[in-house]
């Protein structure tokens, strides 16, 4: 049974070393995984296979990650395709070789050394490492680190998809009989044929017999400096190396989808709530809408909260031109743009959604949708505790778009109804008296000790939450960056300082 427990650095377990089969990817050293690079650098012993000439492709890929003083075990194949006088024949000679290699690695493992066996591509995908794995993994703590396969590398350098939708991919060794290759190539959508070298002509003939030769590509040493890509039918069989493959990419690649012309026609306006502050307060739906936009429209500081993207146009405006901003967004969408109109908090709460929908009556062919955001009231309430735990009312103290008499009447009505109040836009540079006037109105119906929460810049770098009482509410402590929550008769402050409104109301 294999031991596949998690492995840290070159740790030992009861004096026994660890075995790692490490995939190196298709050839480019930068395609080695971070984990593989770390393990190679930490290993006591680096083992790798090579043909009789002694040059190891695996070692050349891993060379940038090797460290001075590491023990290297060259596992030199006794033969490749030549004949042998071994009594067990070709396979018998290889079996004895693998037994000997396993014994050499076991000696290091028994001594407590960490052994990394290098493998081009993926260790368990036609890899030499698997022969060590079969003989050692049941005896020592072992982990296999996958690598990018030669097929993935070849597809990438070719720039052709392997499979799409419901297509099938067949992986074949070129050592199969020609008639078997042809039969399997006829029956699949896409295919990769590995182990070319001396099998190249047989593979080419099988592709021709299957009627697939014109679609086949030849990829040699994918991702390496000596990389070569060509139509397979044009390749000279002389000199085709083992480290190459034949690829039949996705048939759907031959059906090109023409690019949609960017002509006139309605795009879309999405009114997006950014929440009260940065990215952690942004919903996935809002993130998706922002990512799909070609144009961003909004009050300058809100647009600045969206991460810049050079393909997007940004239209920053003043805070007092909501109608003009809405029409500009709709005009761009009418001409084909995908416009995101951004608002702080929720766009439907004292923000841009109503302005856009009002203007949209003049643009009946432009789709408009609203993506909600976390409101400032919810954000402040969450930081204070649960002051909105029962019925509550949301009001704006701004009298720029409605008379103060209306604001005062609504404040009094909400106070008489014993509702918790969330007060937006409590003050600004030009509006300094409304907070005091609202406090005095509420004190006609609320006890002086009613809890009040002042939330400033919630989610931002200068966030603060202040809990006071209605009688002690000082207008000087409130500015445009604040939101006020005025408790009801049942709102309480716990010993820990949390403000909450019980869900039960006294009969």
Digitized pLDDT (tens) for each residue of the chain, 507 residues in all: 344 443 433 344 457 999 999 999 999 999 999 999 999 999 999 999 988 777 899 999 999 999 999 999 999 988 655 556 666 666 778 889 999 999 999 999 999 999 999 999 999 999 889 999 999 999 999 999 999 999 999 999 999 999 999 999 999 999 999 999 999 999 999 999 999 999 999 999 999 999 999 999 999 999 998 899 999 999 999 989 988 999 999 988 555 556 655 555 679 999 999 998 888 889 999 999 999 999 999 999 999 999 999 999 999 988 778 899 999 999 999 999 999 999 999 999 999 999 999 999 999 999 999 999 999 999 999 999 999 999 999 999 998 889 999 999 999 999 999 999 999 999 888 888 999 999 999 999 999 999 999 999 998 888 999 999 999 999 999 988 899 999 999 999 999 999 999 999 998
Classify each residue of 417-436 as buried b or exposed e, where b means 16 or more C-beta atoms within 10 Å of its C-beta: ebbbbbbbbbbeeebeebbe
Q: What confidence score (pLDDT) does residue 253 get?
A: 53
What's domain 377-500's architecture? 2-Layer Sandwich (3.30)
Query: Angle 178-186/200-209 helices, nearest 10 degrees?
Result: 40
Which class does domain 19-148 fall in? alpha beta
Integer angstrom CA distances of residue 12 from 44, 47, 142, 165, 296: 12, 19, 12, 46, 56
* Short-list 44, 201, 171, 181, CA closest to 107: 44
Give the full edge-to-edge strand order of the sheet including 295-299.
313-317, 295-299, 338-343, 268-273, 368-371
Distance CA 195, CA 203 (A): 10
Q: Where are the domains of the chain?
A: 19-148, 151-251, 268-374, 377-500
Please count the other Cβ atoms lying within 10 Å of the Cβ belonging to residue 437.
Answer: 15
Integer angstrom CA distances of residue 118 from 21, 140, 190, 277, 292: 6, 17, 29, 49, 43
Q: Which alpha helices (DSSP H) does 167-320 contain, by range?
A: 178-186, 200-209, 284-292, 300-303
Please check whether the two domains, 19-148 and 268-374, share a CATH topology. Answer: yes
Element (H, E) at 41: helix 34-42
Sequence-ordered list of residues with C-beta below 8 angstroms from that of 368, at least 6 positions apart, any chain: 268, 269, 270, 271, 330, 356, 357, 360
Global pTM value? 0.62
What fold characterizes domain 268-374?
A: Cobalt-precorrin-4 Transmethylase; domain 1 (3.40.1010)
State the burial class of residue 29 (Cβ atoms within 10 Å of its Cβ: 0-12, 13-18, 19+).
middle
What are 299's two structure tokens?
């009050």
DSSP state of 478: -
Q: What confidence score (pLDDT) does residue 80 get?
A: 55
DSSP state of 189: S
What fold characterizes domain 151-251?
A: 3.30.950
Radius of gyration of the CA atoms of the chain, in A: 35
* Short-list 373, 189, 208, 205, CA closest to 282: 373
């Amino acid at each position: 049974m294999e031991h596949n427990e998690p492995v840290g650095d070159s740790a030992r377990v009861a004096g026994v070393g660890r075995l790692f089969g490490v995939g190196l990817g298709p050839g480019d050293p930068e395609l080695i995984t971070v984990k593989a690079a770390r393990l190679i650098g930490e290993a006591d012993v680096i083992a790798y296979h090579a043909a009789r000439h002694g040059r190891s492709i695996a070692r050349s890929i891993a060379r940038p990650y090797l460290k001075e003083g590491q023990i290297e075990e060259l596992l030199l194949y006794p033969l490749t395709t030549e004949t042998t006088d071994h009594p067990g024949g070709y396979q018998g000679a290889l079996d004895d070789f693998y037994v000997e290699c396993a014994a050499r690695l076991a000696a290091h493992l028994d001594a407590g050394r960490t052994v990394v066996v290098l493998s081009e591509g993926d260790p368990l995908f036609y890899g030499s490492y698997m022969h060590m794995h079969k003989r050692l993994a049941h005896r020592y703590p072992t982990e296999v680190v996958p690598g990018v396969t030669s097929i993935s590398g070849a597809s990438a350098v070719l720039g052709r998809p392997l499979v799409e939708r419901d297509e099938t991919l067949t992986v074949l060794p070129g050592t199969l009989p020609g008639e078997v290759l042809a039969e399997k190539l006829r029956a699949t959508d896409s295919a990769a044929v590995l182990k070319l070298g001396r099998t190249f002509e047989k593979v080419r003939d099988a592709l021709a017999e299957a009627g697939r030769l014109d679609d086949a590509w030849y990829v040699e040493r994918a991702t390496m400096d000596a990389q070569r890509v060509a139509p397979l039918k044009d390749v000279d069989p002389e000199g085709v190396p083992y480290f190459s493959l034949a690829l039949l990419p996705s048939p759907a690649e031959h059906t090109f989808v023409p690019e949609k012309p960017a002509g006139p026609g309605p795009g879309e306006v999405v009114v997006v709530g950014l929440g009260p502050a940065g990215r952690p307060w942004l919903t996935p739906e809002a993130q998706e809408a922002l990512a799909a936009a070609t144009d961003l429209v909004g009050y300058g500081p809100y647009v600045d909260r969206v991460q810049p993207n050079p393909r997007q146009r940004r239209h920053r405006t003043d805070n007092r031109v909501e109608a003009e901003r809405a029409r500009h967004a709709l005009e761009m969408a009418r001409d084909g743009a995908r416009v995101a109109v951004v608002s702080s908090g929720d766009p439907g709460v004292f923000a841009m959604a109503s302005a856009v929908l009002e203007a949209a009556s003049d643009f009946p062919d432009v789709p408009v949708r609203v993506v909600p955001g976390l409101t400032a009231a919810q954000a402040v309430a969450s930081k204070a505790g649960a002051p909105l735990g029962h019925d509550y009312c949301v009001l704006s103290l701004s009298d720029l778009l409605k008379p103060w008499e209306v604001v005062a009447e609504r404040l009094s009505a909400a106070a008489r109804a014993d509702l918790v109040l969330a007060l937006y836009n409590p003050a600004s540079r030009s509006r300094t008296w409304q907070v005091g006037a609202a406090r005095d109105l509420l004190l006609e119906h609320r006890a002086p000790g009613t809890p009040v929460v002042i939330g400033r810049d919630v989610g931002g770098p200068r966030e603060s939450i202040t809990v006071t009482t209605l009688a002690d509410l000082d207008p000087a402590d409130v500015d445009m960056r604040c939101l006020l929550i005025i408790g009801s008769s049942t709102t309480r402050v716990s010993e820990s300082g949390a403000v909450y409104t019980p869900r039960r109301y006294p009969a």
